[in-house]
Structure 1
Amino acid sequence: MSSHIKALQERRANIWEQAKALLDTAEGESRNLSAEEEKTYQALNADLDRIDARAKQLLEAEQRNKDAEDAFTQLLAKPAEARQQPDEHESELRRWARGEMRGINIAPPGGVSFRDLVKGTATAGGNTVPTTFYGRLIAHLIEVSGLMMAGPTVLNTASGETIEIPVTTAHSTATLTAEAAPLNESDPTFAKRTLGAYKYSVLLQASSELLTDTGVDLEGYLSMQAGRALGNAFGAHAITGSGTGQPTGVITSASTGKTGGTGAGGAFTADDLIDLFFSVIAPYRNSTSCGWLMRDATLGAARKLKDLQGQYLWQPSIQVGVPDTLLGKPVHTDPNVAAVALAAKSVAFGDFSQYFVRMVGGVRFERSDDYAFNSDLTTFRAIIRADGLLVDQTGAVKVFAGGAS
């Protein structure tokens, strides 16, 4: 880890101590934060968010440099004739971008797969995973969607026919049975839901100069622009989609674990979050994909809360790249989660691996030199087909809902 990243980490810890001091002072005097203190607290929170973003950028830059060094090491170790052979996918992508090919399909590696999206941290094996164009695009798609970062289960299929998924709505129950007495039957209750293939698309434009300059990272440019645009579009539906003509959002399907008190304007207390935490049963709480999902402003409010022992529920991470925790579970933020308000579902908690994301095929890219001919721009379009559904609706994910009045 570079000295600059360590300095950021130390600065982050110092800012959090300043924020805690403000809160502790107000609590010790049995009062709320004054207007000036609230302004300072919000500024400190903004500093925390900026440091997090900067640390992430630096960490990614270090990883890119390491990947490049590893690539050069491998190239130098190869015979000269082997180094002269261009990478098949890179060559195909550049020929398509120059107009030598009409369209290109960037398929996920390995055909049909059923897995979690997370590949692990760099030190836990991420460095051994080669970065393909598909992988880079999906990485950008994930980074703009809090739900995709939370670890849903992803089903990659080659074709887009409707898939019927059994959804668990109630589990079997056992009963105490006397000797020689008949056993009571208790079957789990299932409903049947479908995973379709909704189309998400984006148009990208690039100048001819950009495409012909050899120093341009074409893969990086296209994967970043397309991934973020598609991630924003699908990510919104993955949170609050209605399920009619669009994916079913996790908030839409989740049951209510805790409802706030009246007269609080929809705000939650420390006890509310603790109750929400324990409303999700232990098997789901113990999952590696269990965590919190809320928007940034809501997280700002959660950072102020303490338990009965005076300990803050929120604890900053002491390791770069590892998320902060709330009651020991990672916190993911997404702007599509509702803000704190009356009857609003502003916080979700549970096992997000029970949310299934269906991705069809790969990413379809096509180009046109005619669409913006008068501007000397080349137009690209990127298309994915996807759907989402919470398959375990027995309480794997629950939400906090603000009081009705």
Structure 2
Amino acid sequence: MRVSGGSLNADLDRIDARAKQLLGAEQRTKDAEDAFTQLLAKPAEARRQPDEHESELRRWARGEMRALEIPAEKVAHRDLVKGTATAGGNTVPTTFYGRLIAHLIEVSGLMMAGPTVLNTASGETIEIPVTTAHSSAALTAEAAPLAESDPTFAKRTLGAYKYGVLLQASSELLTDTAVDPEGYLSMQAGRALGNAFGAHAITGTGSSQPTGVITSASTGKTGGTGAAGAFTADDLINLFYSVIAPYRNSTSCGWQMRDATLSAARKLKDLQGQYLWQPSIQVGVPDTLLGKPVHTEPNVAAVAIGAKSVAFGDFSQYFVRMAGGVRFERSDDYAFNSDLTTFRAIIRADGLLVDQTGAVKVFAGGAS
């Protein structure tokens, strides 16, 4: 029987490929055995190398370091102990997935709308001069005297109100927990401080607290009677155009309303049957209403008679003052007799709509 050269070469190639596969499998087996041998030879402590930030926070929590700087959000709001499951014990492993699954809560939508943030090293009062009326010209006859028209000014004042949260944790929890404490404390404090300041940034009275943007905003449109405070598509269009073009064209111009109000707004149509609402097709870009971004804010009032349930305008005219950054501090002495370590996070902040001539306007529910 004659075997062609091509067939013989093909058989040789298959044999060569198979031999290489076997050699490769043998080498991979040897490499895996070597790796396991080296791993098992190491002490248990050496196998888990905590990252630098986790190591620093654990040393700080145990009192080995007196100070630690942490980014601009932090802490929680009750005594945490290892012995009670829901108060910390659920974070201590027998064998444990090392990440805590926390429930989500709402934070300040105003801070996402593009306010002007002033960061200062200290908390002294800041006075901001603003114009409340501009000069105007007039048609003047030949040789007639010119009419005087001066701009008028006012001052807006920003202080520094203190917001804080306190957390106490047992030494057992700090020593034994497998949860990343730095990340968790940062998340909790950021949300707690954001919620506290965010409520005042929307509806604060300005008396011993910041002045909310809705508190200072003027009414752009009042709803009709017999609608229990609800708005129509025409109402939102009128509110949109009650804000003059220089503010309306700002990149920080948008809407603020709570989720339930937003649900109603999404169902509105114009006279051609087209929805006013336009969903975003780009990740990270908010949905739009009449072409302007919508930010949900839980502290805006619900739809009701007389309620200011929708805000629209240039939110860069709302100034947020942050004095001295975030203080995140630890004390071993405050609850020494209970063997608890106390943590606190503090910010000093104020907020004010500096341009109150119509930069932001609201929809108010009509009378019954």
TM range (shorter): 0.7 to 0.9
Deviates most, 173-182 or 248-257: 173-182
Answer yes or no: is the 8 Å Cα contact 2:253–2:312 preserved in 1. yes
From the superposition, tell whether residues 82 and 205 of structure 1 become closer, same or farther in structure 2 (CA, over 3 Å). closer
d(CA) in 1 for partners of 2:58, 2:347: 20
> What TM-score do the two structures reach when normalised by structure 1?
0.66
Deviation readout 1:74-113 (Å, 9 max, x if unpaired): 999999999999999877655433323445565x899999
> Which entry has the higher C-alpha Rg, 1 or 2?
2
Equivalent in the alignment of 2:4:
40
Secondary structure of the 1:141 match is coil
d(CA) in 2 for partners of 1:271, 1:208: 60
Structure 1 residue 205 displacement after superposition? 3.3
Answer yes or no: is the 8 Å Cα contact 1:111–1:156 preserved in 2. no
d(CA) in 2 for partners of 1:233, 1:333: 16
Deviates most, 140-149 or 310-319: 140-149
Query: Counterparts in 2 of 1:196-235, with a 5 A limit?
Result: 196-212=159-175, 216-235=179-198
> What TM-score do the two structures reach when normalised by structure 2?
0.72
Secondary structure of the 1:85 match is coil
Deviates most, 142-151 or 240-249: 142-151
Is 1:119–2:99 an aligned residue pair? no
Q: Which of 129, 132, 149 pairs up with 1:166?
A: 129
Answer yes or no: is the 8 Å Cα contact 2:311–2:362 preserved in 1. yes
Structure 1 residue 54 displacement after superposition? 48
Structure 1 residue 367 displacement after superposition? 1.9
Secondary structure of the 1:212 match is helix
Deviates most, 110-119 or 365-374: 110-119
Deviates most, 138-147 or 154-163: 138-147
From the superposition, tell whether residues 374 and 114 of structure 1 become closer, same or farther in structure 2 (CA, over 3 Å). closer
Number of matched pairs: 367
From the superposition, tell whether residues 119 and 381 of structure 1 become closer, same or farther in structure 2 (CA, over 3 Å). closer
Answer yes or no: is the 8 Å Cα contact 2:72–2:326 preserved in 1. no
Equivalent in the alignment of 1:79:
43
Deviates most, 298-307 or 93-102: 93-102
Answer yes or no: is the 8 Å Cα contact 1:115–1:153 preserved in 2. no
d(CA) in 2 for partners of 1:306, 1:44: 77
Deviation readout 1:203-249 (Å, 9 max, x if unpaired): 12344355335854333112101000000100000000000100000
Secondary structure of the 1:310 match is coil
From the superposition, tell whether residues 133 and 81 of structure 1 become closer, same or farther in structure 2 (CA, over 3 Å). closer
Deviates most, 69-78 or 325-334: 69-78
Q: Which of 271, 277, 301 pairs up with 1:314?
A: 277
Answer yes or no: is the 8 Å Cα contact 1:117–1:152 preserved in 2. no
Deviation readout 1:269-298 (Å, 9 max, x if unpaired): 100000000000111111111000011111
Structure 2 unmatched ranges of 5 or more: none
Answer yes or no: is the 8 Å Cα contact 2:134–2:150 preserved in 1. yes
Structure 1 residue 154 displacement after superposition? 0.3
Deviates most, 384-393 or 190-199: 190-199
Answer yes or no: is the 8 Å Cα contact 2:75–2:189 preserved in 1. no
Answer yes or no: is the 8 Å Cα contact 2:74–2:345 preserved in 1. no
Equivalent in the alignment of 1:154:
117
Secondary structure of the 1:348 match is strand
Equivalent in the alignment of 1:22:
none
Answer yes or no: is the 8 Å Cα contact 1:167–1:193 preserved in 2. yes
Deviation readout 1:14-57 (Å, 9 max, x if unpaired): xxxxxxxxxxxxxxxxxxxxxxxx99999999999999999999
d(CA) in 2 for partners of 1:274, 1:51: 78
From the superposition, tell whether residues 45 and 299 of structure 1 become closer, same or farther in structure 2 (CA, over 3 Å). farther
Deviates most, 265-274 or 360-369: 360-369
From the superposition, tell whether residues 270 and 241 of structure 1 become closer, same or farther in structure 2 (CA, over 3 Å). same
Equivalent in the alignment of 1:334:
297
d(CA) in 2 for partners of 1:39, 1:274: 87
From the superposition, tell whether residues 121 and 207 of structure 1 become closer, same or farther in structure 2 (CA, over 3 Å). closer
From the superposition, tell whether residues 84 and 173 of structure 1 become closer, same or farther in structure 2 (CA, over 3 Å). farther
From the superposition, tell whether residues 301 and 85 of structure 1 become closer, same or farther in structure 2 (CA, over 3 Å). closer
Structure 1 residue 148 displacement after superposition? 0.7
Is 1:245–2:245 an aligned residue pair? no
Deviates most, 150-159 or 306-315: 306-315
d(CA) in 1 for partners of 2:5, 2:229: 21
Structure 1 residue 180 displacement after superposition? 5.5
Answer yes or no: is the 8 Å Cα contact 1:138–1:227 preserved in 2. no
Deviates most, 239-248 or 126-135: 126-135
Structure 1 residue 193 displacement after superposition? 2.2
Structure 1 residue 366 displacement after superposition? 1.9
Is 1:401–2:364 an aligned residue pair? yes
Structure 1 residue 134 displacement after superposition? 27
From the superposition, tell whether residues 218 and 109 of structure 1 become closer, same or farther in structure 2 (CA, over 3 Å). closer
Cα RMSD (Å) of the superposition? 17.8
Deviates most, 79-88 or 318-327: 79-88
From the superposition, tell whether residues 319 and 208 of structure 1 become closer, same or farther in structure 2 (CA, over 3 Å). farther
Answer yes or no: is the 8 Å Cα contact 1:168–1:391 preserved in 2. no
From the superposition, tell whether residues 158 and 257 of structure 1 become closer, same or farther in structure 2 (CA, over 3 Å). same
Answer yes or no: is the 8 Å Cα contact 1:239–1:337 preserved in 2. yes
Answer yes or no: is the 8 Å Cα contact 1:250–1:390 preserved in 2. yes
d(CA) in 2 for partners of 1:357, 1:40: 86
From the superposition, tell whether residues 115 and 323 of structure 1 become closer, same or farther in structure 2 (CA, over 3 Å). farther
Calculate percent identity across the aligned residue pairs.
90
From the superposition, tell whether residues 211 and 267 of structure 1 become closer, same or farther in structure 2 (CA, over 3 Å). same
From the superposition, tell whether residues 181 and 142 of structure 1 become closer, same or farther in structure 2 (CA, over 3 Å). farther
Structure 1 unmatched ranges of 5 or more: 1-37
Structure 1 residue 309 displacement after superposition? 1.6
Structure 1 residue 304 displacement after superposition? 1.0
Answer yes or no: is the 8 Å Cα contact 1:137–1:227 preserved in 2. no
d(CA) in 1 for partners of 2:3, 2:357: 42
Deviation readout 1:351-392 (Å, 9 max, x if unpaired): 000000000011112223455567654321111000000011
